[in-house]
Structure 1
Amino acid sequence: MTAARPDPAPDTGLDTAPDTGDDTGDDIAILKAARRTLRIEAEALTALSDDLPADFAGAVHAIRAARGRAIVAGIGKSGHVARKIAATLASTGTPALFVHPTEASHGDLGMIGADDIVVLISNSGETAELGDILAYCRRFDIPLIGISRDPRSTLMAAARWRLTLPPTPEACPMGMAPTTSTTAALALGDALAVALMELRGFTRETYATFHPGGKLGAQLARVEKLMHGGDRLPAVGADTPMAEVLLTMTSKGFGIAAVIGADGRLAGVITDGDLRRHMAGLLDRRAGEIAHHDPVTVPPAMLAVEALSLLHDHRVSALIVTDPEGRPVGILHVHDLLRAGVV
């Protein structure tokens, strides 16, 4: 029995030959297309920046004033842009949610509340799938922000705040694939998010609340979360014999000892470098004689990334953490920052 031959692939008119990578002419054309695309999209963003929609500030105030969430929706490529805008808003202090227009027509309209504000994105402004959300917003008087390239479209006619994109050409050579238009919509969403951040007084500390995981979370962690305190602190008195100081430094394993004065405040630190500089008669001396008395310290509330910068700038491997009165409460080692993913 003869095996059936698979049907040939359909002829799409595209060149599907494998790329050998040795055609210089093709490489030149590739780079030319890339530069043209980036130039066209950059010009669109410049045009948008130079002539921001008249309703932009009003839209920002409206989103901030909403007692509910910013509901962002779009279909196709605009849907992908809407998802990203919703995610950026949510991660920067503005409660936001993406709603898929098709799913909205099948029950998800219930996700849009009376206290919400809706942001709809459609390049043409005539996307049929947005119709049910438009009707829902009109019926329940839910405020609507429209993002579109056509100010005379159905979407923009229904919107209370109209964010019109500049009429710049798509980077696609046929002018059909959403390229420049999606870049402009995405950038406009970022502009909304950043303007809201500044209006709210959003800080790095607030950002850390929304980003507790990953490298961002690690960099925004505070020293007190990573430091070693209590019995792990290599603390000695100013009168401690150097033989005992060496034992403390060895047992704690940080390569440093915090020298504590009679008042409980940090009087200085002893590092491996200090030991090498005082090798002669070292064991006959006391901690206060060997310590350098102007060490770099950090407060518990300092961001980990700022502490990392101090370690780098002063070329040290550990920092003593002190309270506002100058009393040592912990120690932070560069290895702690490495383990936490700050570096």
Structure 2
Amino acid sequence: MNNSQYIANAKRTFDIEISALQDLASSIDDNFSTACEIILNCKGRVVVTGMGKSGHIGNKIAASLASTGTPAFFVHPGEASHGDMGMVTKDDVMIALSNSGEVTEVVTLLPLIKRLGIKLIGLSGNNDSSLALASDAHLYCGVKQEACPLNLAPTASTTAALVMGDALTVALLEARGFTAEEFAFSHPGGSLGRKLLLKVADIMHKGDAIPVVAPSEMTNKTLLEMTRKSLGLVTIQENGKLVGLFTDGDLRRAIDAETDFKSTPIGTIMHKSPATIGPELLAAQALYQMETRKITSLIVVDEQKVVGVVHMHDILRAGVA
């Protein structure tokens, strides 16, 4: 085979699987709505099972459901027949995957599912299969052909089942009003979690770490405070309220203007409208403000009182960017 043949094979695979998904979209029916209602009314968890490649797809479906507001887990059907059915309760719902709808390990579980009295959602490519007939809602995932040239290896059929699982996941999260913040709670270790969970108050400099002087303080003394706190700025406050800001940039401009630092009160050269943010806002929002305004820090204010300073470096260290 040469390069063009490899690429031709790849495109053929794409075409077959895209066609399968288009057929799947046109065949979806009220069983999908029934499946959604069954899961939404479930008082327990969604238990997903499947054998072989269908099991791998089922594992992914369970993970997607669990991370988007629907408690779910995967049970291997072979293990379920040897004790793991004990994980399933009468409050649960079962989703079973099998392209043929007749795989022995899954069919063996059907009487047990009925005995428990729990709802069954089946995903298969055969509307007349044992799995389909036993299901309270059967989601047809049949394909005309596999992408495999032998029409044997599960390819288009597993893609169809995966997309059906994604469709269920998305429909359910929208029905539940699932929010980005809730998603972040399920992914606290990821960058998205940090962006959606980390607040300004979690990373700001506070207390004695805040550089502060009064507006009557001479500029030379202000520079000492700036140096001690190492944030490249000084907040100018009266009675705990922010009245101005003096930064490294302001210092450069003052030097260019040949300002006499020993005799000039900082209040006369400070920036009187500094950018501020609230402590309960997200660190990602602070980053957005900094990037939009082309600045490197924000003064954190709560009811006009200065409670902290957040710097671009703090946000970068926290992994929000």
Alignment partner, residue 280 of structure 2: 301
CA distance in 2, matches of 1:224, 1:46: 48
Alignment partner, residue 237 of structure 2: 260
Q: 1:41 to 1:252 in 2, by over 3 A?
A: farther
Moved more, 78-87 or 252-261: 252-261
Correspondence 1:320 to 2:299: yes
Cα offset, 1:196, TM superposition: 1.7
**Aligned pair partner of 1:62 in 38, 43, 52:** 38
CA contact (8 A) 1:214 1:341 kept: no
Correspondence 1:244 to 2:221: yes
CA contact (8 A) 1:257 1:271 kept: yes
Cα offset, 1:116, TM superposition: 0.4
Task: Provide, for residues 59-84 of structure 1, a one-character-per-residue CA deviation record: whole Å limited to 9, x for no partner.
Answer: 12221211100101111111011111
Q: Secondary structure at the match of 2:118?
A: coil
CA contact (8 A) 1:118 1:142 kept: yes
Alignment partner, residue 311 of structure 1: 290
Amino acid in the other structure paired with 2:214: G
CA distance in 2, matches of 1:129, 1:82: 14
CA contact (8 A) 2:143 2:156 kept: no
Amino acid in the other structure paired with 2:39: I
Q: Secondary structure at the match of 1:123?
A: coil
CA distance in 2, matches of 1:105, 1:191: 29
Correspondence 1:330 to 2:308: yes
Cα offset, 1:219, TM superposition: 1.9
TM-score (norm 1): 0.86
Q: 1:282 to 1:55 in 2, by over 3 A?
A: farther
- 1:190-205 aligned at under 5 Å gives the runs 190-205=166-181
CA distance in 1, matches of 2:41, 2:212: 53
Alignment partner, residue 58 of structure 2: 82
CA distance in 2, matches of 1:151, 1:270: 73
Alignment partner, residue 11 of structure 1: none
What are the ranges of 5 or more consecutive residues in structure 2 without an aligned counterpart? none
Alignment partner, residue 80 of structure 2: 104
CA contact (8 A) 1:275 1:282 kept: no
CA contact (8 A) 1:78 1:123 kept: yes
Q: Secondary structure at the match of 2:181?
A: helix
Number of residue pairs matched? 317
Cα offset, 1:255, TM superposition: 1.3
**Aligned pair partner of 1:230 in 195, 199, 207:** 207
- 1:1-343 aligned at under 5 Å gives the runs 26-220=2-196, 221-262=198-239, 264-279=240-255, 280-281=258-259, 283=261, 284-323=263-302, 325-343=303-321
Amino acid in the other structure paired with 1:29: Q
CA contact (8 A) 1:298 1:319 kept: yes
CA distance in 2, matches of 1:189, 1:274: 57
Moved more, 132-141 or 35-44: 35-44
CA distance in 2, matches of 1:42, 1:293: 60
Moved more, 115-124 or 35-44: 35-44
TM-score (norm 2): 0.92
CA distance in 2, matches of 1:236, 1:204: 40
Indicate the percent of aligned positions where both proteins have the same amino acid: 46
Cα offset, 1:47, TM superposition: 3.4
CA distance in 2, matches of 1:238, 1:118: 68
Amino acid in the other structure paired with 1:82: G
Cα offset, 1:336, TM superposition: 1.7
Q: 1:275 to 1:55 in 2, by over 3 A?
A: same
Please, what is the CA RMSD of the aligned residues? 1.9
CA distance in 2, matches of 1:315, 1:49: 47
Q: 1:227 to 1:51 in 2, by over 3 A?
A: farther
Q: Secondary structure at the match of 1:260?
A: strand
CA distance in 2, matches of 1:233, 1:48: 60
